[in-house]
Amino acid sequence: MANVLCVLYDDPVDGYPPSYAREDIPRIERYHDGQSTPTPAAIGFRPGELLGSVSGELGLREFLEGRGHRLIVTSDKDGPDSVFERELPDAEVVISQPFWPAYLTAERIAKAPKLKLALTAGIGSDHVDLQAAIEHGVTVAEVTYSNSISVAEHVVMMILALVRNYIPSYKWVIDGGWNIADCVSRSYDLEGMQVGTVAAGRIGSAVLRRLKPFEVGLHYTDRHRLPAEVEQELGVTFHPDVQSLVEVCDVVTINAPLHPETENLFDAELLAKMNRGSYLINTARGKICDRDAVARACESGQLAGYAGDVWFPQPPPRDHPWRSMPHHGMTPHTSGTSLSAQARYVTAARTSLTVWGEGSPQAHRLRGEGL
């Protein structure tokens, strides 16, 4: 029997389950590049259900308890008296999502002698101290591609929301007003603007594909250049570094992972190189941007707007400046946890746990044996 400690975000304030807007969701069998979606023998939930909150339990309770394992689910993850801290010493598996990450620091890993697997139900494992995980023999795994398109759609939504000044215009309606001049005084067409992505992996390239019909100039920078035929298909211009990209773009979207080279990449110096009145979108990781530098750039007008759904830490404190700075379009970290995305990343997480538990050749590869 294994103790599986699962950290998820809180249930809806009006209770669980919520009232769903739709009866079902489209069935996705393959991703854009032809890769098939996970197809386990059973899933134990109805696609379209809220699975990422505490009561949703990632749809794993019946699956795990049926195999003799113990599942502990909590949203209480921070501080020495948290449920997570108390249960961690006996946990063999820790599961969390990037939207409500269970921060596995070196100190916490040292307190978890039984820990064997840290699984991210989603993309990105920067909430785990990877060096400490290596030193203690802990496998770190995540679910690639499962919600990449979900994030890409969120990026496009945020670009349009900022450029077209949607959020302030909506607020005029909510407040009972009808002042069109105030609504359009910061509203522009995206058409004809230059839009660039920092990184053009699965999310970044999906953003480029979705923006092409808007008749904008497309740009990207990445360690690995896209194939020539893809560049030609998208009509996208490659830049050797982020500095040369931001100097020509009206809109910049960050779609890079967090690592030492990208941490605080968008600092005061780089923001100053952007065209005055540019827009910055960040659905990657909060620490890629200097928190205070971004707030100052929005206040000064260097940035016409900043939008994203990633913060540090998560959840952010109430006095985090991104909550109150002008011309922002921030949301909680929701881009990759739509109900559609949950169905895919939960299915993939269940597949990973099955592989791990059965000790199959795939499990050995997951553990890093024989590589």
Q: What's residue 33's pLDDT? A: 76
Share of residues in the chain with pLDDT > 70 (%)? 96
Residue 271 pLDDT exceeds 90: yes
Domains (range + CATH), the chain? 3-146+337-366 (3.40.50.720), 148-323 (3.40.50.720)
Q: Rounded CA gap, 325 and 306, in Å?
A: 9
Q: What is the mean predicted confidence (pLDDT) over 40-62?
A: 92
State mean pLDDT over 163-187: 97
Answer whether residue 35 shows pLDDT above 90: no
Confidence (pLDDT) at 28: 84
Kindly list the distances between the CA atom of residue 67 and the CA atoms of 154, 156, 252, 358, in Å, as whole numbers in the listed order: 37, 42, 47, 11
Q: Name the residue among 133, 124, 88 with its Cα closest to residue 106.
A: 133
Question: Residue 358 — very low, low, confident or very high, per pLDDT cuts 50/70/90?
Answer: low
Task: Output DSSP code: residue 322.
Answer: G
Return the pLDDT at 145.
85
Instruction: Tell me how far apart the alpha carbons of residues 200 and 343 are, in angstroms, rounded to a whole number.
Output: 25
Question: For 88-234, where are the alpha helices, taking DSSP H only?
Answer: 106-110, 130-135, 148-163, 166-174, 180-184, 202-211, 228-234
Angle between helices 202-211 and 148-163 (to 10 degrees): 50
- Using DSSP's 3-state secondary structure scheme, residue 30 falls into strand
The count of other CB atoms within 10 Å of the CB of residue 263 is 15
Distance CA 196, CA 13 (A): 38
- Residue pLDDT, tens place only, 72-105: 999 999 999 999 999 999 999 999 999 999 999 9
pLDDT digits (tens, 9 = 90+) for 106-157: 999 999 999 999 999 999 889 999 999 999 999 999 988 889 999 999 999 9
Write phi, then psi, for 195 (nearest 5 degrees): -120, 130
pLDDT digits (tens, 9 = 90+) for 312-344: 999 999 999 999 999 999 999 999 999 999 999
pLDDT score at 368: 32
pLDDT at 216: 98
Distance (Å) of CA 206 to CA 197, 212, 333, 367 = 10, 10, 19, 30
Residue 202 predicted with pLDDT over 50: yes
What pTM does this model have? 0.92
Mean pLDDT of 300-315: 96
What number is the average pLDDT over the span 12-20?
A: 97
Can you tell me whether residue 23 is helix, strand or coil?
coil
Residue 365, pLDDT > 50, answer no
Q: What value does the mean pLDDT take over residues 30-53?
A: 85
H/E run at residue 120? strand 117-120
pLDDT (0 to 100) of residue 361: 38
Within its chain, how far is the Cα of 133 from the centroid? Answer: 22
Residues acting as catalytic residues: 147, 285, 314, 333
Residues 6+ apart with CB under 8 A from 127: 96, 98, 101, 102, 103, 104, 120
Please give the structure tokens belonging to residue 116. Answer: 């064997």
Residue 44 has pLDDT above 90, yes or no: no
pLDDT above 70 (res 169): yes
Q: Across the chain, what does the average pLDDT equal?
A: 93
84 vs 137: CA distance, rounded Å: 20
How distant, in Å, are the alpha carbons of 9, 157, 204, 255, 296 from that of 174?
28, 20, 34, 32, 28
